[in-house]
Amino acid sequence: MKILALLNEKGGAGKSTCAINIACALHRDGRRVVLIDADPQGTARDWREASPPEANLPPVVALDRPDMLLSAIKTLAADIAVIDTPAKAEKMAANVVRIADVVLIPLQPSGADVWASAAAVKLIQGKRDLGGNVEAAFLATRVSSNTKLSKEILSGAWNEYGLDMLDTAISNRVSYAQALTDGVSVYETRDGQAKAEIDLIVNELETAGWL
Ligand SMILES: Nc1ncnc2c1ncn2[C@@H]1O[C@H](COP(=O)(O)OP(=O)(O)O)[C@@H](O)[C@H]1O
Ligand SMILES: [Mg+2]
């Protein structure tokens, strides 16, 4: 089983939105996906409870205690576990990086998000320094337009921390917020551009051999 985690200690960075939509895309591709809600706030659980009964969406499993996550994840029968993580939770973040094969760090084009990502980058480097394997990249989110400022901020993060950035960015779109509220993914909306973004992200991860 491959473990993909969305990590950034900042609240509102887009972790849950990315985790949900990527998990749904993989599920639609026929992979056996479990979406793990590691956040005591329970966004992914609330999302799934809001889903229409007939919706074809991946199951959500709550594992929001750091030690239980380590022992229970091994028991899941899935091809891919996508972990939605909490903000400001050092022990959980450390355990998530310990078990993750791939970590994506959602990053909005603002200085605050770039600074907040330092903790996640440090955990990834720490695992690698100890000989552990983990693929990692930034994922630009809520990008309003291809402005010079957002390019500067995002490439600043890339330069400073030496982590890759996925080529595809997630735009700021009402459909992401609407889908979350309705308990579905952007695939259940009419927003073709949002679907195309998530498709491209999954494609990048698969092409890189990460998933
Ligand atoms: N690409 C996006 N476009 C529009 N709204 C977004 C986007 N990504 C996230 N949001 C909204 O921003 C808020 C925070 O996102 P969320 O995924 O819950 O962040 P986190 O899990 O990191 O706290 C939510 O209300 C969500 O609907
Ligand atoms: Mg969240």
Q: In this predicted structure, what is the pLDDT of residue 156?
A: 75
β 80-84/2-6 pair status = parallel
Ligand number nearest CA of 9 is 1
Measured in angstroms, how far is the CA atom of residue 82 from the centroid of ligand 2? 13
**Of 115, 170, 106, which Cα lies nearest the Cα of 138?**
106
Residue 144 has pLDDT above 90, yes or no: no
Reported confidence tier of residue 146, pLDDT bands at 50, 70, 90: low
Coil/strand/helix, residue 107: strand
pLDDT digits (tens, 9 = 90+) for 30-49: 999 999 999 999 999 999 99
CA distance readout (Å), 123 to 57, 70, 102, 129 = 31, 16, 13, 10
Q: Round to the nearest angstrom and report the end-to-end CA distance of the chain.
A: 9
Q: In this predicted structure, what is the pLDDT of residue 164?
A: 87
Pocket mutation for ligand 1, best pick of 15, 170, 176 (most atoms within 8 Å of C-beta) = 176
Residues with CB under 5 A from ligand 2 (ion): 15-16, 43
Q: In this predicted structure, what is the pLDDT of residue 113?
A: 85
pLDDT digits (tens, 9 = 90+) for 149-171: 677 777 777 777 889 899 999 99
Pocket mutation for ligand 1, best pick of 10, 16, 17, 21 (most atoms within 8 Å of C-beta) = 17
Instruction: Give me the domain span that covers residue 86.
Output: 2-207
Name the residue with higher pLDDT: 58 or 164.
58
Task: Supply the CATH number for residue 127's domain.
Answer: 3.40.50.300
Reported confidence tier of residue 176, pLDDT bands at 50, 70, 90: very high
Measured in angstroms, how far is the CA atom of residue 18 from the centroid of ligand 2? 9
Nearest atom, ligand 1, residue 142 CA: 1
Percent of the chain with pLDDT over 70: 98
Measured in angstroms, how far is the CA atom of residue 33 from the centroid of ligand 1? 21
Ligand number nearest CA of 40 is 2
Total domain count, the chain: 1
Nearest atom, ligand 1, residue 18 CA: 17
Which of 26-30, 107-111, 122-126, 138-142 is the least confident region? 107-111
